[in-house]
């Protein structure tokens, strides 16, 4: 099965780009693709555990948990997490801290790389 890597760089709730990236990831998993998600910059905020979003808004943390449960590999940039004071235990289940070396490997192994 070919892998597709999605790189998300947008803040979780400032625009709809992060939400659309996760929606695409859901659709790709449903189409039986292997999905890698790499969170860069402010996008690491979507992996923060304990999010409480207002009623009626999408919860990207819950979406990430569902994607991980369905087999998506999800990494949050170590440098980006450190800059924001996030440690591994601050992230939701299914998200690990990763490095540029991980992203480089995924890029080489993937059929497609899409950025948001």
Show me where the domains of the chain are located: 3-115
Mean pLDDT by 10 residues, the chain (116 residues): 93 92 98 97 96 88 96 98 96 97 97 97
The pLDDT value recorded for residue 2 is 86
pTM confidence score = 0.94
Bridge partner list, 3: 34
Spell out the residues 6+ positions from residue 16 whose beta carbon is closer than 8 angstroms to its own: none
Bridge partner list, 75: 38, 96
3-115 CATH pick, 3.40.1210.10, 3.40.1260.10, 3.30.1330.30, 3.40.640.10:
3.40.1260.10
Spell out the residues 6+ positions from residue 76 whose beta carbon is closer than 8 angstroms to its own: 38, 39, 44, 47, 86, 91, 95, 96, 97, 98
Q: CA-CA distance, 107 to 104, in Å (whole number)?
A: 5
């Amino acid at each position: 099965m070919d892998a597709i890597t999605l790189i998300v760089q947008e803040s979780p709730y400032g625009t709809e780009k992060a939400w659309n990236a996760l929606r695409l990831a859901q659709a790709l998993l449903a189409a039986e693709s292997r999905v890698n998600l790499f969170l860069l910059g402010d996008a690491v905020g979507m992996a923060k555990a304990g999010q409480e979003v207002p009623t009626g808004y999408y919860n990207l943390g819950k979406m990430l948990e569902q994607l991980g449960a369905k087999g998506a590999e999800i990494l949050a940039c170590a440098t980006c997490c450190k800059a924001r004071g996030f440690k591994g235990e601050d992230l939701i289940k299914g998200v690990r801290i990763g490095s540029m070396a991980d992203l480089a490997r995924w890029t080489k192994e993937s059929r497609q790389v899409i950025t948001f």
